[in-house]
Structure 1
Amino acid sequence: MRSSRADSVQLKGSVRPAGRQESRGRLRRAYSRAAIAVSAGVLAIGGVVAAAPAAADPLPVPPTFFAGIPYELANPGGSLPGVNDWDCVPGAEHPNPVILVHGTGGGAQTNWGAMAPRIKNAGYCVYALTYGVNPGTPWPLSAMGGLTRMQDSAQELSVFVDKVLAASGAQQVDLVGHSQGTLMPNYYVKFLGGAPKVDKYVSLAPLWKGTTAGGASEFTAKLDEAAKTNPAARQYADLMNKYCGACSQMSAGSPFIEKMNAGGTYAAGVEYTNIMTRYDELVVPWTAGYVEAPNATNLVVQDTCAQDYSDHLAIAASVRSQAMVLNALDPAHPVPVPCVFVPPFLG
C-alpha cells in the first residue's frame, strides 16, 4: 500500500395565482420542518449529536449524510448555503475551485449537506451540480441525478467546469466525487479533454473496477444475452437503459468499465486520492476502488481508526472523511484526522 501525506496526518493526530403560490410555500415549509424533525430523531437514535459550529465557521457542519435533504425540500433545485456563489473569487491559498459530484440518485444538495460546508469553511470556492436527470421529470424526481448514461453526464460536467472556470478566473478545478461521482468524471477527464482543467481528483467510495453488488454484473450479462432473442427481455433492457442508463454501466465487466480502465485507470497529470471503506455495501468488493499508480493515493478509513464504521453513505459525510478530503485538496497544510466513532448510514 502506498503511503501518503494524508495518511501521515491521520497518524498525527409562468406566474401562478397568489393563493396557489402561498399554498405551495406552506407545503414546502411543512415538508422541511418534517424532514428536520425526522433527521433530528434519527440522529438521537443513533446517538449522534450535531455540535454547534465554531465561531470561526460561518456555516454549520452537521455530521450526517442526510443533512442536505431539508435544503432540497425547502428550495427544490437550489444550492446549499455557500455553494454555487458565482461571485466567489479563489484566494491565493486555495486557487482551485472545488466541484462536488454526487452519486447515483443524488443531487447537488442531497449528497453534500455535511461535506460542502466543511470545504467552504476551509476557504474554498465550492460548486455542485445535479447531473444525469432523466429529461422531463418533475420535482422531486428532478432532484435524483446520476441516472442517464455516464457519457452524457460527463458532457454536462464539462459544461459546468467551463462555467466555473470562467466565473472564477481559475486555471483548474479540483473534483470531489462520491460513488458514481468518482467514476463518471474520469470519462470527462480521459475522453472529453478535461485532464488539463483538473488538478486534484478526490474519490469517496470509488468503483474504478465496477461493482458486483446484488449480482449486478451477472444479471446484466444474462439480460443482455436474453435480449438478443427474447423481445420481452429486450423491452425490459430498453426500459432500464432509458430510466437508468448509468446503472448497468457500473457493473464489473461492463463495456463502460472496460473502456475506462483500458490503457490505465488514471489520466496523466491529475492527482487522484481514493478514500474507501471496508464496510461498503454498494461497491462490492470495496477494493474495486483500490488502484495503484504513481499519481494515486489509496486510503482505507479503517486503517487508521477501527471505530470508523462508515458504509457507502457515511463515508461522504463523516468528520474523518471531511478531514481526509481537505488533506487531499491541500496536503501542504494538513488538518488532523480524528479517530472517533463513525456510525454506518448516517456518518
Structure 2
Amino acid sequence: MVAQGAGGLVAQRIVQRERTAAPIDRLITVGPIWRGTNIGFLGDTEDISRRLGTYDAILSLEKPLIDPWCGGCRELVRGSDLLRDLHRAGLPTRGVQYTNVISPTDLLVSDPFTAAVDGMDNRFLDAGRAGRTAHHFTLLTDAAVVQHVRDALLGDVRQAY
C-alpha cells in the first residue's frame, strides 16, 4: 500500500486492527506524519493544556468549531489520542515492511526529521537539489518522490532477478 500523509495513519490503523483476506505487508508512506504536526504550535498548546488539566475542557469547546470543517484534523496534531494509540499498539508493526519518503522541507510536519521511525526504511529527499523544495502537498508530483516509491515497490522484484 502507498499512502500520503494522514493516509499512512489510516493504513497503520488498518494494519493494527483489521484482519483482512489480503493483509497489508508493505506500507510506503510519502510525507509520513508518524509523530504528528506542530503546525501553528498546536502540539505545544495541547502539551501545555494536558499538563494544566484543561485539555478536556478546551476540547469540548474546540470540537463544535473544528469537527464540522475537518473532523480528523485534531488527530494529526502531535500527541493526539490517535497517535498515542498507534504507537502504543506497536509502530512499526511486526511483519510489515515500511518505507518512508520524507522531505526536509515538508512544512506540515513541523520537524520533518521526526517522521523517521526506527525499524523503518527512512528515505530523505535531498534538500539542496537545485534549490527545489518538496513540501507536503506537492510531494506526489516530485520526480524524486516518485522514484523512491517506485524503487520501494519494485525492490523485491529486482532482488529476485
TM-score (norm 1): 0.40
- 1:313-328 correspondence runs (5 A): 313-328=137-152
One-letter code aligned to 1:247: C
CA contact (8 A) 1:195 1:269 kept: no
Aligned to 1:321, the other structure's residue is in SS state helix
Residue 225 of structure 1, aligned match among 54, 59, 70: 54
Q: Which structure exhibits the higher relative contact order, with contacts defined as CA atoms closer than 8 Å and separated by 6 or more residues?
A: 2
Within 2, Cα distance between the matches of 1:201 and 1:195? 17
Aligned to 1:298, the other structure's residue is in SS state strand
**Pair 310,226 (structure 1): closer, same or farther in 2 beyond 3 Å:** closer
Identify unmatched segments of 5+ residues in structure 1. 1-174, 335-347
Aligned to 2:129, the other structure's residue is in SS state coil
Instruction: Say yes or no: does 1:333 pair with 2:151.
Output: no
Aligned to 1:330, the other structure's residue is in SS state helix
**Pair 227,265 (structure 1): closer, same or farther in 2 beyond 3 Å:** closer
Cα RMSD over matched residues? Answer: 2.6
Alpha-carbon distance, 1:203 to partner: 0.4
CA contact (8 A) 2:16 2:89 kept: no
Identify unmatched segments of 5+ residues in structure 2. none
Aligned to 2:106, the other structure's residue is in SS state coil
Residue 93 of structure 2, aligned match among 259, 267, 279: 267
- Report which of the two has the higher share of helix: 2
Residue 306 of structure 1, aligned match among 105, 122, 129: 129
Instruction: Say yes or no: does 1:244 pair with 2:73.
Output: no
Alpha-carbon distance, 1:314 to partner: 2.4
CA contact (8 A) 2:4 2:31 kept: yes
**Pair 226,253 (structure 1): closer, same or farther in 2 beyond 3 Å:** closer
Structure number with larger C-alpha Rg: 1
One-letter code aligned to 1:318: D
Aligned to 2:29, the other structure's residue is in SS state strand
Within 2, Cα distance between the matches of 1:190 and 1:263? 7
One-letter code aligned to 2:85: K
**Pair 220,328 (structure 1): closer, same or farther in 2 beyond 3 Å:** same
**Pair 285,203 (structure 1): closer, same or farther in 2 beyond 3 Å:** same
Instruction: Say yes or no: does 1:201 pair with 2:27.
Output: yes
CA contact (8 A) 1:201 1:273 kept: yes
Within 2, Cα distance between the matches of 1:277 and 1:183? 17
Q: Give the corresponding residue for 2:121.
A: 297
Aligned to 1:288, the other structure's residue is in SS state helix
Residue 109 of structure 2, aligned match among 279, 283, 286: 283
Within 2, Cα distance between the matches of 1:195 and 1:321? 30
C-alpha deviations, 1:243-294, integer Å up to 9, x for none?
Answer: 322111111111111111115312211111000011111111102310011x
Q: How many residue pairs align between the two structures?
A: 154
**Pair 322,216 (structure 1): closer, same or farther in 2 beyond 3 Å:** same
Alpha-carbon distance, 1:197 to partner: 1.4
Aligned to 2:72, the other structure's residue is in SS state helix
Aligned to 2:3, the other structure's residue is in SS state strand
- 1:101-116 correspondence runs (5 A): none
**Pair 273,194 (structure 1): closer, same or farther in 2 beyond 3 Å:** farther
Within 1, Cα distance between the matches of 2:134 and 2:152? 19
Aligned to 1:273, the other structure's residue is in SS state strand
- 1:10-21 correspondence runs (5 A): none
Aligned to 2:117, the other structure's residue is in SS state coil
